[in-house]
C-alpha cells in the first residue's frame, strides 16, 4: 500500500490518469496547471503538488514537502497562469479522498480555500470528478510518517 | 487637486496617501477589491417585455432571423394553465403568422418529474417541433429545457446530469413565465425531480438558456396573491444571495441591486392588487434580473436550506427562501457589512449617518417587514415544522450537501449551519 499524499502516491495517480482511456476522452478540455497545498500532514510536513495537463494528458507534475509550517509555500502569491490553487489541511484532503466529506462541504468550509478560474473549473467538472475517482482508487494508508 | 475635482462641490475622499490622487467615492458600496479576479458573465437569452406581448407572439418570433423561418411549434405547459386558457391565448398570438402550433403537451406536474421529461421529449420529437414554447412556472420551463435536450440529443435526462454535459445546441425554447420568481426563463439550469429515486437531476449548460424570454405581466393577473408573494420572494432571494455570494462580480451586482429595489418597492403592491400593471411589470422584470444575477454569481445558504426544507417537508421553494432569508442575512452580516448596507438602501432604509456596520442590520429588518407585509410567517414553526434535533439534523445534513452552500459569503462548518437552521425553524437565538 502507498502512503497518502507522498511522491509515490502522486506517481500512482499520474499513471492511472495516463492509462485511463475514459479519463483522456472525458478530459479533452483539461488544460493548464492545478496546484494543491496540503497543510499539517504526516511527518509534520506541509506539501505542495502541481499537475499540468494538455488536452487531458497529464504532461507534468511536481511534489514537494517541507517542515510545517512551510512559510514560503504558505505565503506564496497566486500565479494567474494557473487554473486553480486549493489549500486545505491534510485531514480534510484525506476525508475527501476517503469519501467521508463531500466536495460541497469542503468548499463551504473556512478550512478549504480555492483560488483561480472558477468558471473554467465548473466547465472542467466532469474531468475533475473522474480525476478524483481515479485518485481515490489508489489503495493508500492515511496514518503514516512519510513526507 | 485633480482637475475633475477642482471647483466641484462634491463628497471627495482621499486614500490618505500623499502620492495618490483624490478620487470620488460612491455612496452605495465601498470600493472593496474584486472578490473574483477571473470573471465570465453570460446572459444570452433575449428578453422581450411588454404588457399584452403574448398577443404579438407571431410577430415577435418572426422578426428574429433565426426563428423567422421556422414554423412547427410545440407548447409545453401544465393542466392548470391550460384550464385558464393559455393555449387559446397562444393560438391567437400566432394568428395571421406562418407559425403552426402543432401540439400541446399540458401534462407537466407542479413538481417536475423525469417521466414528464421523457413524455414531453417524445411529444416534441413526434411532432418534429422546431420551436418549443414553455409557458408556466419553474417546473414547466425546466421540463421544457430537459425535453429539448433529450429530443435533440437522445437518451434519458439522467445522461445529461451535471454541469457542461449537454453536447451541443438544442431545439430553441421561448420561455413564457407565468410566475414571478424562478428566473428559469433566463438561466442555463434545470432541476428535474426523480420521484421514484427521491433524488433530483440537476442540469447546467450554456445550451439550456432559452433562446427568448417573453415577459407579459398579463399572465400574472390570475396568479393567487400567495404565489405572487412566494415567487416574488424567491426572486428577492436570488438577487440578495447573488449580490453577496463568494462569486459576486460587478456586472451581476448592478443587476441584482436594482432587482432588490424594484422588488422591495413593488412586491407588496403586486401581492395586494394584480390589477396594478406597473407593479406586476416591475416584479416580473426584476425576477428575470434576479435570474441573470444568480446564473452568474450563484446563490448561498438560503437556497441550500430552502432546497433541503422544500424536499424534506414539501413546502413551496419561494416560501422556504422567504422564511430563511432574514436569518441567513443576519448570519452573513459581518462578512460583508458594506454589501448589506447597500442592500438596506435598496430596501428603503434611511442611513441617517450610520456606518456600514451599524446600518447593515437594517437590511435584515427590512426583509422581515417585507415578509410580514405579504403574509410570510417568521419561522418554519409557523409552517408546522418542529425544532427538535432530528428535524434540524435532517435539514442540516441536506443543506451541507447542497452546492449553493459553497458560494455563501460566510464560510461554514456543520455546527454553524445547524445553529442557523435551528434559528430558521424556531426563531430562537
Ligand atoms: Fe430560487
Residue ranges, CATH 3.40.50.1970, chain B: 46-220
A14 contacts: CB under 8 Å, gap ≥ 6: A51, A58, A61
Query: Hey, what domains does chain A have and what are their CATH numbers?
Result: 2-138 (3.30.1050.10)
Tell me how far CA of residue B326 lies from CA of B17, B182, B217, B274, in angstroms.
39, 19, 28, 26
Cα–Cα distance measured from residue B224 to residue B228, given in angstroms and rounded to the nearest whole number? 6
Query: CA angle, corner B267, sides to B262 and B270, nearest 5?
Result: 120
Task: Give the containing element (helix H, strand E) for B399.
Answer: helix B389-400
| More reliable by pLDDT, A104 or B324 | B324
Give A48-112 as a 3 state SS string.
EEEEEEECCEEEEEEEEEEECCCHHHHCCCCCCCCCEEEEEEHHHHHHHHHCCCCHHHHHHCCCC
ipTM of the shown complex: 0.85
> With 60 as the cut, is the pLDDT of residue B7 above it?
no
Which three cell numbers, joined as nine digits, stand for B28?
Answer: 452605495
B406 contacts: CB under 8 Å, gap ≥ 6: A104, A107, A108, B246
Can you name the residues that pair with A135 across neighbouring β-strands? none
The residue behind cell 451581476 is B252
> Across the interface, do A126 and B165 touch by the CB < 8 Å criterion?
yes
Question: CATH: 3.40.50.2300, 1.20.1090.10, 3.40.640.10, 1.20.1260.10. Which one for B225-426?
Answer: 1.20.1090.10
Question: Largest Cα–Cα distance in chain A?
Answer: 39
Question: What's the pLDDT tens digit per position in B69-85?
Answer: 999 999 999 999 999 99
The answer to whether the peptide bond before residue A69 is cis (omega within 30 degrees of 0) is yes
Cβ atoms of B180 and B276 within 8 Å: the answer is no
Residue of chain B whose Cα is closest to the Cα of A102: B401
The residue behind cell 405579504 is B374
Mutate to test the interface with B, among A102, A108, A116, A117 (most CBs of B within 10 A): A108
B351 contacts: CB under 8 Å, gap ≥ 6: B341, B344, B345, B359
Instruction: Show the beta-strand stretches assigned E in B77-126.
Output: 100-105
Give the gap in angstroms from C-alpha B349 to the nearest C-alpha of chain A: 31
Question: What's the pLDDT tens digit per position in B142-154?
Answer: 999 999 999 999 9
Q: How confident is the model at residue B65 (pLDDT cuts 50, 70, 90)?
A: very high
For residue A104, what pLDDT is reported?
A: 86
Residues with CB under 5 A from ligand 1 (ion): B 234
> Across the interface, do B406 and A108 touch by the CB < 8 Å criterion?
yes
Determine contact: B39 vs chain A, CB below 8 A. yes
Residue ranges, CATH 1.20.1090.10, chain B: 225-426
Give the gap in angstroms from C-alpha A128 to the nearest C-alpha of chain B: 12
Handedness of CA B329, B333, B338, B341 (dihedral sign): positive
Instruction: Show the beta-strand stretches assigned E in B39-196.
Output: 46-49, 72-76, 100-105, 131-136, 162-163, 173-177, 189-194
Cβ atoms of B321 and B241 within 8 Å: the answer is no
Instruction: Give the residue-averaged pLDDT of B99-118.
Output: 96
| Intra-chain end-to-end CA distance of chain B, in Å | 51
Mutate to test the interface with A, among B33, B40, B331, B334 (most CBs of A within 10 A): B40
Architecture of domain B46-220: 3-Layer(aba) Sandwich (3.40)
Instruction: Choose among B37, B204, B406: nearest Cβ to A107.
Output: B406
> With 50 as the cut, is the pLDDT of residue B239 above it?
yes
Instruction: Choose among A104, A110, A123: nearest Cβ to B406.
Output: A104
Instruction: Choose among A104, A116, A122: nearest Cβ to B163.
Output: A122
Residues of chain A found within 8 Å of residue B414, distances taken between Cβ atoms: 105
pLDDT, chain B, mean: 93
Which percentage of chain B shows pLDDT scores above 90?
Answer: 86
Cα–Cα distance measured from residue B394 to residue B422, given in angstroms and rounded to the nearest whole number? 11
Tell me how long chain A is: 147
Residue of chain B whose Cα is closest to the Cα of A81: B38
Determine contact: B408 vs chain A, CB below 8 A. yes
Task: Kindly report the pTM of this predicted structure.
Answer: 0.92
For residue B197, what pLDDT is reported?
A: 80
Q: How confident is the model at residue B2 (pLDDT cuts 50, 70, 90)?
A: very low
Question: What's the pLDDT tens digit per position in A34-79?
Answer: 999 999 999 999 999 999 999 999 999 999 999 999 999 999 999 9
Q: Which residues 329-388 of B have a C-beta within 8 angstroms of A?
A: none
The residue behind cell 467521508 is A100
Instruction: Give the residue-averaged pLDDT of B46-55.
Output: 98
Tell me how far CA of residue B2 lies from CA of B8, B9, B16, B25, in angstroms.
10, 13, 15, 14
Can you name the residues that pair with B136 across neighbouring β-strands? B177
Query: CA angle, corner B262, sides to B93 and B220, nearest 5?
Result: 30
For residue B163, what pLDDT is reported?
A: 84
Chain centre to alpha carbon of residue B116: 23
Give B357-374 as a 3 state SS string.
HHHCHHHHHHHHHHHHHC
Cβ atoms of B247 and B294 within 8 Å: the answer is no
Which three cell numbers, joined as nine digits, stand for A147?
Answer: 513526507
HSE-CB at A119 with a 13 A cutoff on CA atoms is: 16
For residue B37, what pLDDT is reported?
A: 81
Give the gap in angstroms from C-alpha A103 to the nearest C-alpha of chain B: 8
> With 70 as the cut, is the pLDDT of residue B3 above it?
no
For residue A121, what pLDDT is reported?
A: 84
The residue behind cell 502516491 is A9
Query: CA angle, corner A128, sides to A13 and B247, nearest 5?
Result: 140
Question: What's the pLDDT tens digit per position in B190-209?
Answer: 999 988 887 888 899 999 99
> With 50 as the cut, is the pLDDT of residue A116 above it?
yes
Cα–Cα distance measured from residue A78 to residue A115, given in angstroms and rounded to the nearest whole number? 8
For residue A75, what pLDDT is reported?
A: 98
Query: CA angle, corner B162, sides to B172 and B139, nearest 5?
Result: 55
HSE-CB at A108 with a 13 A cutoff on CA atoms is: 24
Amino acid at each position: 500500500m502507498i502512503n497518502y499524499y507522498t511522491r509515490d502516491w502522486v506517481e500512482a495517480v499520474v499513471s492511472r490518469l495516463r492509462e485511463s482511456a475514459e479519463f483522456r476522452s472525458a478530459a479533452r478540455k483539461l488544460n493548464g496547471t492545478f496546484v494543491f497545498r496540503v497543510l499539517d500532514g504526516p511527518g509534520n510536513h506541509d506539501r505542495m503538488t502541481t499537475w499540468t495537463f494538455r488536452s487531458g494528458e497529464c504532461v507534468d507534475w511536481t511534489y514537494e514537502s517541507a517542515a510545517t509550517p512551510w512559510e514560503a509555500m504558505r505565503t506564496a502569491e497566486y500565479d494567474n497562469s494557473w487554473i486553480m490553487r486549493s489549500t486545505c489541511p491534510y485531514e480534510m484532503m484525506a476525508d475527501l479522498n476517503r469519501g467521508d466529506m463531500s466536495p460541497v462541504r469542503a468548499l463551504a468550509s473556512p478550512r478549504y480555500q480555492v483560488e483561480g478560474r472558477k468558471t473554467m473549473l465548473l466547465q472542467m467538472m466532469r474531468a475533475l470528478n473522474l480525476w478524483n475517482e481515479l485518485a481515490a482508487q489508489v489503495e493508500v494508508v492515511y496514518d503514516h510518517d512519510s513526507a | 487637486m485633480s482637475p475633475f475635482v477642482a471647483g466641484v462641490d462634491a463628497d471627495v475622499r482621499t486614500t490618505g496617501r500623499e502620492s495618490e490622487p483624490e478620487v470620488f467615492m460612491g455612496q452605495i458600496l465601498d470600493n472593496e477589491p474584486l472578490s473574483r479576479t477571473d470573471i465570465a458573465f453570460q446572459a444570452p437569452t433575449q428578453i422581450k417585455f411588454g404588457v399584452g406581448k403574448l398577443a404579438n407572439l407571431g410577430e415577435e418570433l418572426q422578426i428574429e432571423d433565426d426563428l423567422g423561418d421556422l414554423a412547427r411549434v410545440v407548447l409545453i405547459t401544465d393542466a392548470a394553465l391550460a384550464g385558464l386558457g393559455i393555449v387559446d391565448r397562444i393560438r391567437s398570438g400566432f394568428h395571421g403568422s406562418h407559425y403552426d402550433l402543432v401540439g400541446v403537451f399540458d401534462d407537466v406536474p407542479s413538481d417536475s418529474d423525469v417521466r414528464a421529461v421523457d413524455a414531453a421529449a417524445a411529444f416534441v420529437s413526434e411532432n418534429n417541433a422546431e420551436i418549443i414554447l414553455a409557458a408556466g412556472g419553474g417546473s414547466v420551463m425546466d421540463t421544457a429545457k430537459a425535453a429539448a435536450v433529450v429530443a435533440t440529443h437522445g437518451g434519458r435526462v439522467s445522461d445529461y446530469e451535471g454541469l457542461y454535459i449537454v453536447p451541443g445546441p438544442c431545439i430553441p425554447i421561448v420561455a413564457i413565465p407565468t410566475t414571478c420568481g424562478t428566473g428559469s426563463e433566463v438561466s442555463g439550469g434545470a432541476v428535474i425531480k426523480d420521484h421514484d429515486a427521491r433524488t433530483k437531476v440537476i442540469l447546467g449548460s450554456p445550451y439550456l438558456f432559452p433562446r427568448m424570454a417573453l415577459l407579459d405581466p398579463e399572465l400574472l393577473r390570475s396568479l393567487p396573491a400567495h404565489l405572487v408573494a412566494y415567487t416574488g420572494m424567491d426572486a428577492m432571494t436570488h438577487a440578495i444571495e447573488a449580490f453577496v455570494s463568494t462569486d459576486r462580480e460587478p456586472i451581476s451586482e448592478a443587476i441584482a441591486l436594482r432587482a432588490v429595489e424594484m422588488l422591495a418597492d413593488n412586491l407588496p403592491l403586486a401581492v395586494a392588487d394584480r390589477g396594478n400593471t406597473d407593479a406586476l411589470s416591475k416584479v416580473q422584470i426584476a425576477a428575470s434580473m434576479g435570474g441573470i444575477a444568480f446564473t452568474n454569481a450563484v446563490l448561498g445558504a438560503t437556497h441550500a436550506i430552502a432546497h433541503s426544507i422544500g424536499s424534506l417537508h414539501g413546502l413551496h421553494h419561494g416560501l422556504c427562501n422567504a422564511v430563511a432569508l432574514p436569518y441567513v442575512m443576519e448570519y452573513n452580516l459581518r462578512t460583508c457589512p458594506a454589501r448589506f448596507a447597500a442592500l438596506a438602501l435598496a430596501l428603503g432604509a434611511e442611513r441617517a449617518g450610520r456606518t456600514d456596520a451599524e446600518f447593515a442590520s437594517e437590511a435584515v429588518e427590512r426583509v422581515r417587514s417585507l415578509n410580514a407585509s405579504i403574509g410570510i410567517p417568521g419561522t418554519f414553526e409557523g409552517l408546522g415544522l418542529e425544532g427538535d434535533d432530528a428535524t434540524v439534523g435532517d435539514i442540516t445534513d441536506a443543506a451541507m450537501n447542497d452546492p449553493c452552500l459553497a458560494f455563501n459569503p460566510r464560510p461554514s462548518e456543520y455546527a454553524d449551519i445547524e445553529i442557523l437552521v435551528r434559528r430558521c425553524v424556531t426563531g430562537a437565538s
